[in-house]
Structure 1
Amino acid sequence: MSAPDPAPGRFNGLELLASAVLLVDGEGAVRYANPAAENLIETSQKQLTRSTLLTLFTNGAELADLCREALAHRWSDRRQDLTLERTGREPLHVHTIVSSAGENEVVIELRENVQQKKLDREERMLDQSQANKELIRNLAHEIKNPLGGIRGAAQLLELELPPAHAAELSEYTQVIIKEADRLQVLVDRLLAPHRRPHIVGDVNIHEVCERVRSLIQAEFPTGLTIKRDYDTSIPEFRGDREQLIQTVLNIAHNAAQALAPRIAAGDAEIILRTRVARQVTLAKVRYGLALDLHIIDNGPGIAPEIRDRMFYPLVSGRSGGSGLGLTLAQTFVQQHMGVIECESRPGLTDFRILLPLP
């Protein structure tokens, strides 16, 4: 049986709040939920008011205990960070405020814990990146070993062709040799981040950005404007300059290629923006200062179907693309103890790189 409806108009003001609000009774049954609560919990108000805290959340007992303590007037309100588990859905990381609202009513305010959600996302990306690197390394070696044999056999076969048909048949052996060479280049690119030593030195991020800017501008001399929005107070830091140039170049080059229609129209734009971020957590480590680098373009945006997989190897949104540029960028950024994020929609794609500063 559903809980009785609250008095009409009693909670009109709560309808406008951005925070999720639940009104529950002493048994933990939900009597009211505002629209923000419907959105956060992904359940309609009608269904919510037929539920209890124990049926909504598999670990709802902790929240129910807080409600009982509120009714016992042990405190005026209680604030606590909770992770509310749900069957078949992602857990909710929320900051809760529990307070008594009457003789047998408790108000629960739920605010999504954005920082915890961000940390969880970064941890998942790091785990996925590690799995990708192991997969790439093993797969590349498995391809590389027989590839040399295939190419060598094709070369020997070409030497044994009958002279009368050598010119005609060598066309086929050359196809084998050229395709083997193409695959060799791909394998070398897959193994590049694991082969090359991490060469650390003093890095000026604006020298990195300027190098990338000159390379992109040389390839796309007309129709594309590359704007600089630098915070020149950013200090030098220890890092691998060539890896960072390759990272920014991969992202900016992808952006320029995606901007082809706007380049033709003459209004394509890429922005290189640097800022300092303070009190940033990267890979579970807290840093007082971090480099906040953005590569922004006004292109069509990343296709929704690959947005969650764009850092995976061999995933490309462009015909003929290798799908390695962003994978390498993520690897290089993680080798610098940083993170790379992306927000994209039609007309704006923003890649954000955060690196710790001294």
Structure 2
Amino acid sequence: MAKVSDIFARKPARNGTPEPGSILSALSVPLFVVDDQDQLSFVNQAAEQFFASSTTTLLGRPLSEILPEDSPAFGLIHQVRDGGYSVSEYGVTLSGPKIGSHFVSIDAATVADRPGSVVVSIHERSIARKIDHQLVHRNAARSVTAMAAMLAHEVKNPLSGIRGAAQLLEQNADPEDHQLTRLICEEADRIVALVDRMEMFSDKQPLAREPVNIHVVLERVRRLAENGFARHVKFIESYDPSLPPVYGNRDLLIQAILNLVKNAAEAVPKEGGEITLSTRYQQGVRLAIPGSGSRVDLPLQVMIQDNGPGIPEDIQPHLFDPFVSTKAGGSGLGLALVAKIIDDHGGVIEFESQPRRTLFRLMLPMVPRETGLEEELTVDGDQV
């Protein structure tokens, strides 16, 4: 049987099409193929640099001589080989005496015409775009959590005293000064209301989870929007009807998606504004939780897309930080709250933005098999 490296080394076609090996070698992403014995049968130039060895040294060499046998790469390769489908895993640490330690994402897939062979690509830049974003979102949520606890303790109590003092002053103040005392009370109430919103972030109770039909959630959000802030918007729905239930909290998912839809409705043009709600199942997307050995499967994707002008580039790196907003008078807490809700679900939120196409993608967990609830849908109270 020919090696995969032989396949990639075929001569170019007569019409001038370049050989596959030269294309793969030109990629900046490390890519390699292991055969059914976990021996390297192809490496591109980026993989040579990643493994700090030449192609001649690497070909035919067991991957276990480069990476420790307990490396998550082997589990991923065996999963792909046994399941016959592609898998993407985010937040993986690859380390070895020669390569050092790398925090990466890995994509792995079978080679169709070579049973047992698996092609693996390593994405350090991808992790910066995806998981580093998610970790930033988590840090943003945690910073808001700490701020909420501080505000509740250090601000609300003094505000109560300030408001009470203003009410006492009003009793003896001249009528023309009542406007000032009322202003003090109103501003104190406004700040307390803001702190109350912040306190939502400080709730550290574990989520009350159950199987949730995400399409029922999206239908509820759409109807709320169409009868309120999004009357001028055309909604387009593209759902995967076979999608299994999300393992989550129905009310919090409604709140998170409603925030995203509200932002989209405010961004689209008054004439011709469109919001697309879609779902799909993507087998094999997993997130390794930093600091633990556990990995969460995130195959359920919910997308909210609008045709607005896009998010300014200078705002994008800080979009989920608290008090960052593109709207005049906006508090900048909406997306920070969305980040916290998705984080609490163990999910990932990503976004892509360009003029006339801004997409937010939620990757959420399905009901774990060990719960015995994977076939159960919560429908009580979900009538929309």
2:195 is equivalent to residue 183 of structure 1? no
Residue matched to 1:276:
281
Q: 2: CA distance between counterparts of 1:225 and 1:21?
A: 40
Return closer, same or farther for 1:63/1:196 CA change in 2, 3 Å cut-off: closer
Change (3 A) 1:331 1:131: same
- Greater mean alpha carbon deviation, residues 221-230 or residues 266-275: 221-230
1:213 aligned residue: 222
Distance 1:215 1:299 in 2: 20
1:287 deviates by 4.3
Q: Secondary structure at the match of 2:332?
A: coil
Q: Which string of whole-angstrom CA distances, capped at 9 and with x for unpartnered residues, describes residues 94-141 of structure 1?
A: 99xxxxxxxxxxxxxx96446654444433433443233223322343
Q: CA deviation at 1:238?
A: 3.5
The answer to whether residue 146 in structure 2 is matched with residue 145 in structure 1 is no
Question: Which of 196, 200, 203 lines up with 1:192 in the alignment?
Answer: 200
Q: Which residue of 2 aligns with 1:158?
A: 170
Partner Cα separation in structure 1 for residue 145 and residue 103 of structure 2: 30
Within 5 Å, which residues of 2 pair with 1:225-264? 225-259=234-268, 262-263=269-270
Shift of 1:167: 2.1
Task: Report what 2:303 is aligned to.
Answer: 294
Change (3 A) 1:196 1:173: farther
CA distance in 2, matches of 1:292, 1:312: 23
SS of aligned partner of 2:282 = strand
* Mapped contact 1:83–1:93 kept (Cα < 8 A): no
SS at match of 2:305: strand
Q: Per the alignment, do residues 111 and 298 of structure 1 end up closer, same or farther by CA in structure 2, a change over 3 Å counting?
A: same
Q: Percent sequence identity over matched residues?
A: 38
Contact in 1 for aligned 2:298/2:347 (Cα 8 Å) = no
Alignment of 1:1-358 (within 5 A): 18-20=26-28, 64=52, 66-67=53-54, 75=59, 112-113=123-124, 116-117=127-128, 118-161=130-173, 166-195=174-203, 198-220=207-229, 222-259=231-268, 262-263=269-270, 266-284=271-289, 285-288=294-297, 290-358=299-367
State the TM-score, normalized to the length of structure 2.
Answer: 0.63
> 1:253 and 1:305, CA in 2 relative to 1: closer, same or farther beyond 3 A?
same
State the number of aligned residues: 281
Deviation at 1:248, TM superposition (A): 0.4
Over alpha carbons, which structure has the higher Rg? 1
* Contact 1:258 1:299 (C-alpha < 8 Å) held by counterparts: yes
Task: Judge conservation of contact 2:259–2:338 (CA < 8 Å) in 1.
Answer: yes
Structure 1 residue 286, shift from structure 2 partner: 3.5
What's the Cα RMSD here? 3.5
**3-state SS in 2 of match to 1:278:** coil
Alpha-carbon deviation of 1:273? 0.6
| Pair 221,170 (structure 1): closer, same or farther in 2 beyond 3 Å | same
Name segments (4+ residues, structure 1) moved above 4 Å.
12-18, 73-84, 91-95, 113-117
Superposition deviation, residue 232 in structure 1: 1.7
Counterpart of 1:151, as a letter, is R
Q: Deviations over 1:208-233 (max 9, x none)?
A: 11111111111246531011111121
SS of the residue corresponding to residue 341 of structure 1 reads strand
CA distance in 2, matches of 1:125, 1:83: 26
Shifted more, 321-330 versus 112-121: the winner is: 112-121
CA pair 178-312 structure 1, distance change in 2 beyond 3 A: same
Letter in 1 for 2:28: A
Greater relative contact order, per chain length (Cα 8 Å cut-off, separation 6+): 2
Q: What is the DSSP-based 3-state SS (H/G/I as helix, E as strand, rest coil) of the residue aligned with 2:314?
A: helix
By how many angstroms is 1:235 displaced?
2.3
Change (3 A) 1:140 1:274: same
CA offset digits 1:305-351 (Å, max 9, x no partner) = 21111111111110011111111111111111112111111111111
Deviations 1:248-299 (A, max 9, x none): 011110111112xx12xx2100011111122222353444552200111010
**Structure 2 residue ranges without an equivalent (≥5):** 1-17, 31-44, 68-93, 97-101, 107-120, 368-384
Rounded Cα–Cα distance in structure 1 between residues aligned with 2:58 and 2:334: 57
Check whether the contact 1:119–1:283 (CA below 8 A) recurs between aligned residues: no
Report the CA distance shift for 1:220/1:121 in structure 2 as closer, same or farther (over 3 A): closer
3-state SS of the aligned residue for 1:317?
A: coil
- Cα gap change, 1:18/1:300 in structure 2, threshold over 3 Å: closer, same or farther? farther
What does the per-residue CA deviation read over 1:41-89, in whole Å, with 9 as the maximum and x for residues that have no partner? xxxxxxxxxxxx9xxxxxx8x855x24xx66x575679768789xxxxx
- For the 8 Å contact 1:278–1:287, the answer to whether it is kept is no
What TM-score comes out, normalization by structure 1 length? 0.68
Q: Distance in 2 between matches of 1:347 and 1:327?
A: 23
